[in-house]
């Protein structure tokens, strides 16, 4: 297995696959991801001080997220250092969380501050090293830093983080797939016109309900395979454009962004979009979908009809597993509630682009993690190969040379967006889309 002709560097070994997919403490990718701020949940998921905590798991670490009575957000290890009792059932107090078993108390930064089950002269709080990670609230999201440096990374200057709260929305789902295969679905240039489109590209009834406005425009080209795919390096990763000729001297260019370590931005219109793929552990991740208008004027003037959450994306009753509060109604356990009659006749029988992606990325191959040594990659997979090589290069430079990874200090490299635009064939597409894909410095 490997790569097709003229695709040097596209085959991946078993060892490289292990490096790319394992995210626990001490692993190559785990060390890389711990250099960055990591999105946990929208701030709206933890609205009130003293409310119940949330079970989360990040990079293979079980954690409890809570808001103390003083309003500060805490992210601490899930099990008390005394007898490993679950802190999820602890009592949230003014400045921390108290273990339900013997009352040991932890501050929002993880410090053990009280041991009330033993006399004062016998306490040893300073000897306890409990996991606790700093958190910030930024762009409507609670972020954490799990790395070793005392100097916190720069907060990424995403456009969605810079606009008012009422101009953006967050959707996130627990996905039963390794972060890499889920992310690769977000930077794949040729699956969209197959997995997400009507069987008849002229079937506007299906398209208008199940696809975004920009994808409906792409259907008008009546071309499932792009005439051209170009990849261009950017300060934060790369962007790629797919061209479909409109046979009138112009072409539709759909431009996606990939930014390290696990962000993508699909083609957007008035309503822009971003994706985050946060590893829960080696076999699951949180898939974020973020949408925003750059300003109120754009929102007020927009004639687009934003695609709303599909009914089968509604959450199930919460489970007691980490991030068990964001499991979609249609999921791997019930075959995503596929409608086989629709599947035979008009489109993939799973409702909506997000669930269609999940049905594939959660089920790639017979093992929980995709075995990339068994792939047969083609020219349509060059974006996937490039992202893998980029992540490996950054992670190895960190481990072997102590090199600060791209984006840890350069907040401005995230000032980009995707786009979909018609460009005259006699113009350079990169020059033509530059302004549309760049967020003005003044916005930050």
Domain boundary residue, one of 116, 145, 174: 145
Residues 254-278 pLDDT 10s: 999 999 999 999 998 899 999 999 9
Domain boundary residue, one of 123, 145, 167: 145
Closest CA to 37 of 131, 110, 137, 178: 137
- 240 & 123 share domain: no
- 46 & 115 share domain: yes
Assess if residue 154 is contained within a domain: no
Assess if residue 10 is contained within a domain: no
- Cα angle: 21, vertex 18, 7; to 5 degrees: 90
Residue 221 CA from chain centroid, whole number? 30
pLDDT digits (tens), the chain, 444 positions: 666 655 666 789 999 999 999 999 999 999 999 999 999 999 999 988 778 999 999 999 999 999 999 999 999 999 999 999 999 999 999 999 999 999 999 999 999 999 999 999 999 999 999 999 999 999 999 999 999 999 999 999 999 999 999 999 999 999 999 999 999 999 999 888 788 888 888 877 777 766 666 677 677 777 778 899 999 999 999 999 999 998 899 999 999 999 999 999 999 889 999 999 999 999 999 999 999 999 999 999 998 877 666 789 999 999 999 999 999 999 999 999 999 999 999 889 898 889 999 999 999 999 999 999 999 998 889 999 999 999 999 999 999 999 999 999 999 999 999 999 999 999 999 999 999 999 987 554
Domain boundary residue, one of 91, 110, 145: 145
- 282 & 133 share domain: no
- 140 & 178 share domain: no
- 95 & 176 share domain: no
CB 186 within 8 A of CB 264: yes
- 90 & 238 share domain: no
Assess if residue 153 is contained within a domain: no
- 101 & 173 share domain: no
Domain span including residue 122: 37-145
What number of CA atoms fall less than 13 Å from residue 207's CA on the CB side? 20
- 55 & 171 share domain: no
Closest CA to 284 of 335, 336, 321: 321
Assess if residue 4 is contained within a domain: no
Assess if residue 29 is contained within a domain: no
Residue given tokens 């009330």 in the structure block: 116
CA distance 426 to 420: 18
Q: Is the peptide bond before 261 cis (omega within 30 degrees of 0)?
A: yes
State the pLDDT at residue 444: 45
CA distance 279 to 286: 6
Structure tokens at 207: 């398209």
- 210 & 311 share domain: yes
- 186 & 116 share domain: no
DSSP labels, 327-387 = -BSS-GGGGGG--HHHHHHTS-SSSSHHHHHHHHHTSSSSSSS--GGG-EE-GGGHHHHHH
How does strand 37-42 pair with strand 141-145? Answer: antiparallel
CB 130 within 8 A of CB 88: no
Assess if residue 152 is contained within a domain: no
Assess if residue 178 is contained within a domain: yes
- 293 & 195 share domain: yes
Beta bridge partners of 260: none
State the total domains in the chain. Answer: 2
- 124 & 170 share domain: no
Prediction pTM value: 0.94
- Cα angle: 146, vertex 149, 154; to 5 degrees: 80
The CATH number of residue 62's host domain is 2.102.10.10
């Amino acid at each position: 297995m490997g790569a097709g002709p003229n695709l040097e560097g596209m085959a991946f070994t078993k060892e490289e696959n292990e490096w790319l997919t394992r995210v626990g403490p001490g692993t190559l990718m785990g060390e890389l991801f711990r250099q960055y701020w990591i999105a946990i949940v929208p701030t709206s998921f933890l609205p009130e001080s003293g409310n119940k905590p949330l079970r989360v798991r990040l990079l293979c670490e079980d954690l409890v997220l809570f808001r103390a009575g003083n309003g500060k957000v805490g992210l601490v290890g899930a099990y008390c250092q005394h007898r490993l009792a679950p802190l999820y059932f602890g009592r949230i107090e003014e400045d921390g969380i108290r273990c339900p078993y013997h009352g040991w108390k932890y501050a929002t930064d993880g410090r053990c501050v009280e041991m009330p089950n033993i006399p004062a002269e016998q306490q040893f709080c300073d000897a306890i090293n409990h996991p606790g990670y700093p958190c910030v609230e930024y762009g409507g999201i609670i972020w954490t830093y799990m790395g070793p440096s005392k100097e916190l990374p720069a907060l990424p200057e995403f456009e969605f983080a810079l606009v008012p709260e009422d101009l953006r929305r967050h959707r996130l789902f627990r996905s039963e797939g390794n972060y890499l295969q889920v992310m690769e679905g977000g930077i794949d240039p040729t699956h969209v016109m197959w997995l997400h489109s009507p069987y008849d590209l002229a079937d506007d009834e299906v398209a208008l309900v199940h696809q975004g406005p920009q994808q409906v425009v792409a259907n008008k080209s009546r071309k499932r395979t792009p005439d051209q795919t170009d990849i261009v390096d950017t300060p934060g990763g790369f962007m790629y454009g797919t061209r479909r000729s409109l046979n009138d001297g112009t072409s539709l260019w759909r431009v996606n962004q990939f930014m390290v370590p696990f962000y993508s931005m699909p083609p957007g219109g008035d309503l822009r979009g971003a994706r985050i793929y946060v590893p829960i552990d080696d076999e699951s991740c949180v898939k974020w979908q973020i949408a925003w208008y750059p300003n109120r004027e754009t929102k007020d003037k927009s004639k687009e009809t934003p695609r709303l959450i599909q009914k089968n994306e509604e959450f199930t009753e919460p489970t007691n597993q980490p991030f068990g509060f964001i499991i979609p109604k249609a999921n791997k356990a019930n075959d995503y509630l596929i409608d086989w009659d629709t599947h035979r006749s008009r489109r993939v029988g799973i409702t909506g682009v997000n669930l269609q992606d999940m049905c594939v990325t959660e089920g790639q191959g017979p093992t929980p993690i995709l075995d990339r040594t068994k792939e047969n990659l083609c020219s349509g997979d060059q974006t996937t190969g490039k992202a893998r090589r980029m992540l490996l290069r950054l992670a190895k430079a960190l481990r072997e040379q102590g090199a600060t990874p791209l984006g840890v200090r350069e907040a401005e490299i995230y000032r980009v967006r995707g786009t979909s635009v018609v460009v005259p064939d006699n113009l350079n597409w990169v020059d033509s889309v530059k302004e549309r894909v760049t967020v003005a410095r003044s916005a930050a």
